[in-house]
Structure 1
Amino acid sequence: MLVHFQFKPLYQRAQKQSWAFSFYFKGQFVSGTYHFDGSITWTDSQVDEQVRNEQLKQAVHDLMLYHVYEEEHQPKHKI
């Protein structure tokens, strides 16, 4: 389970945006960069590469789809 998931855009108003993200997985800090094409660059992770590729990659992808892409494509309501 991922806890304390955080992300932030690396560039302002970029067409091919990338986001820095971080979270804890089984008590270990994990961070990386999520790129516009769905690829991930991992940084300073002590988590086994196989676990990253099989479990964490899909979880990060799902969270980014939910938090970033869904939010950006919701209709803007004027009050």
Structure 2
Amino acid sequence: MLQHFSYKPMFAGVNLPGWTFSFFYQNQRYSGDYMPHGTINWDGETPSDEEKVKKMIHELMTFHVYE
């Protein structure tokens, strides 16, 4: 489970071109950029089970940004 998930627009007052996010997963901090078409660009390391984590991020972003 992702802990302390947070996101914000890349540019103030605009939802495009994407969002930056950060969270803790298995006691390690991860961050990156979430693009409007769903691509995730990681800053630094990627989680060992990246596909599982990407799915959780997509679900959170769909809930928070698109609804």
Q: CA RMSD in A?
A: 1.4
TM-score by length of 2: 0.88
| C-alpha separation in 2, matches of 1:35 and 1:46 | 16
Report which structure shows greater RCO (CA 8 Å, sep ≥6).
2
How has the CA–CA distance of structure 1 residues 36 and 29 changed in structure 2, closer, same or farther, with 3 Å as cutoff? same
**Structure 1 consecutive aligned stretches of length 4 or more whose deviation exceeds 4 Å:** none
Tell me if the contact between 2:47 and 2:53 (Cα under 8 Å) persists in the aligned partners: no
2:31: which partner in 1?
Answer: 31
Q: Which runs of 5+ in 1 are unaligned?
A: 71-79
Q: Which has the larger radius of gyration?
A: 1
Tell me if 1:13 matches 2:14: yes
| C-alpha separation in 2, matches of 1:33 and 1:27 | 20
Normalized per residue, the structure richer in strand is 2
For the residue of structure 2 that corresponds to 1:7, the secondary structure is: strand
For the residue of structure 1 that corresponds to 2:38, the secondary structure is: coil
| C-alpha separation in 1, matches of 2:56 and 2:32 | 13
User: How big is the shift at 1:4?
Assistant: 0.2
TM-score by length of 1: 0.75
| C-alpha separation in 1, matches of 2:17 and 2:32 | 14
